[in-house]
Structures are given as C-alpha cells and as structure tokens.
Structure 1
Amino acid sequence: MRRMAKTGLTDADYAVLADFRYSLRVFLAFSESRAAEFDLTPQQHQALLAIRAAPDGKATIGYVAERLVLKPHSASGLVGRLEALGLLERVPGADDKRQVTLSLTEGAAGILAELSKTHREELRRLRPLLTDLLARIDAQG
C-alpha cells in the first residue's frame, strides 16, 4: 500500500473516500429522480423538508437560506417560486406582522410525506454500505 509522504494518505484512503462520495451521489441521484416525479427540483424538495423540520416559528427565509446554504436573495426567490406553485404560505407574525414564517400547504405536506417515506426507505437500504464505508474511514485513521 502506497502512502503519500506529504499527505499521509494511502491508495486505500483515496479509494474509500471515492466510494463514499459515489454512494452519496447514488443517493442524491435517487432523490433528484423522486423529486422530479412530483415536478419538484431537488432544491425545492430540500426547502420543503427544511421548512417542515424547522422548530416552531423558525421557518423563515433566513432559515431556508441557512439550511440550504444559499444567499438570502436566492432563498427568497426559491420561496417565491414555491409559493407561486401553491406549496407554501407566508404567515405574518402574531405580534410583528413584518416577521413572516413559512408554512407548507396541505398539498405540499402530502408530497413531502411521500418523498420522505421513500427517502427513509432508501437510506435504510444504503445503511449497511454507508456504515461499512465509515468504519473503513475510521480504521484507516
């Protein structure tokens, strides 16, 4: 096994990292395909998931930007497109009408439930492979 002097990485280190990245891409391709079945882009699906998973009162455009690693103006555009599709509603704050939280529509909640169910199943299917890859990374130190 060859070890690179400056990095301390071996061929096996590179191989396991490549295998791990490949496994992530397989999952992402699955996710993209499933989202497309509902006429959603991957980013739209991720936004719906982030909003649904947000703690109460935290589902704001800023929160979406943070969770999707977007600039605020990009998150604002994404939220606007989801709202135009009838998947999101903006809910003014009870005390401060300028503070707006985001809420999934009933239709979006149904779509997200279907997507999340199949994603959970796919992750369960991939778990042994991912666990093995992570163990190999740990073993190589």
Structure 2
Amino acid sequence: MARVERKSRRPLRAASSKRTKSNALSTVDYEALARFRYQLRLFLAFSDMRAKIAGLTSQQYQALLAIKGFSSQKPMFVGELSRLLLVKHHTTVELVDRMVKLGLLRRMVDAQDKRRVLVTLTKRGQSLLHKVAAVHHAHLGSSSRMLRKVSQLLGSVEQQ
C-alpha cells in the first residue's frame, strides 16, 4: 500500500473568520473538515494494511473489535453486530459463517429465544484481535498530536 505524504507542512490555525447568518462555511471550516477526512483515510488505510498482515480482512477485524469492545463479557447477538458494522443482517450472517469456519468466532443459539444467534470470540479470534488492536492503539497514540489539532480546529469552528 502506498504511503500518502502530506504536501503542506504549514501548521493548523484556528478559525478566524466569522460565519454569516446563513451559516456559510469559511475556508478554515473546509480546511478543518478536509484535514479530518484525510486523517480518517490515513488511519483506515493503515488499519486495513495491519489487518491484512495479521491474516484478517478489514471486515473480520472490525467484527472482532466490535464484539470484544461492545460485549466483552457476554455473547453478542448477530443483529447487534450487524447494527455496529453498518451492514445488512444477511451480510453479517455470511461474515459470521466465514469467521466460524476460520475458527475466529463461536456461534450459539440463544437459550431464551431460539430465533436469535449469539457470537463470541474464540481464543484464536482473541489472539488475532489483540495482535492488530495493539498496533492500532500505538498508532493512534502517535497520531494523537495531529488529531488533537484537527479536533481543536473543529472545536473552534463550533464556537463561532
């Protein structure tokens, strides 16, 4: 994956122009939004690459992270996973089927409602998740300075 370099090295600056009554965006507003989107794209590209190196697809990593992050102590319903991944239920079912075959997830029927399916991470799923998540956590820590600047710039936009 090609690394994208930032061409402009000029520092981020606080918004200096006031919005009009029509809530028109200033040049600084557009710059803040563009920088935020750029940082998101950089992180997502990095995330996809690290998941691939670990032997996971981006969707598999996102599913493992959602299950661990939102229901670490109890199984998660497939419908809830679908909602968190922002995909249709049948797409999540197919993803879960593939992940069960790969030994990343364990699937079980809910004892209270036989129509609902629950998923949990296997030891292999937990191990791969930890491997990728640890790198992501460290990367976010090193990227925090730029994200803080973007956040401050967006915050100053809100205060106008």
2:5 aligned partner: none
For residues 54-81 of structure 1, give each alpha carbon's deviation from its aligned partner in whole angstroms, at most 9, with x where no partner exists: 3344511101101111111111111111
Check the 8 A contact 1:57/1:101 in 2, yes or no. no
Q: 1:103 is matched with which residue: 114, 120, 127?
A: 120
Across the two proteins, how many residue pairs are aligned to each other? 141
1:131 aligned partner: 148
CA 1:4–1:139 in structure 2 vs 1: closer, same or farther (change >3 Å)? closer
2:146 counterpart letter in structure 1: L
1:8 aligns with 2:2: no
1:119 aligned partner: 136
CA 1:10–1:86 in structure 2 vs 1: closer, same or farther (change >3 Å)? same
TM superposition shift of 1:136: 0.8
2:80 counterpart letter in structure 1: Y
Q: Distance in 2 between matches of 1:68 and 1:35?
A: 16
Matched residue of 2:76: which SS? coil
TM-score with structure 2 length normalisation?
A: 0.79
2:35 aligned partner: 19
Structure 1 residues 8-17 or 55-64, which shifts more?
55-64
Q: Identity, % of aligned pairs?
A: 35
Structure 1 unpaired stretches of 5+? none
2:106 aligned partner: 89
2:64 aligned partner: 48
2:138 counterpart letter in structure 1: E
For residues 102-137 of structure 1, give each alpha carbon's deviation from its aligned partner in whole angstroms, at most 9, with x where no partner exists: 111111110001111111111111111111111111
Q: Distance in 2 between matches of 1:88 and 1:75?
A: 13
For residues 39-66 of structure 1, give each alpha carbon's deviation from its aligned partner in whole angstroms, at most 9, with x where no partner exists: 2111110001111123344511101101
Matched residue of 1:9: which SS? coil
2:60 counterpart letter in structure 1: Q
1:73 aligns with 2:80: no
TM-score with structure 1 length normalisation?
A: 0.89
1:117 counterpart letter in structure 2: A
Q: Please identify which structure carries the higher helix content.
A: 1
Q: Distance in 2 between matches of 1:71 and 1:92?
A: 20
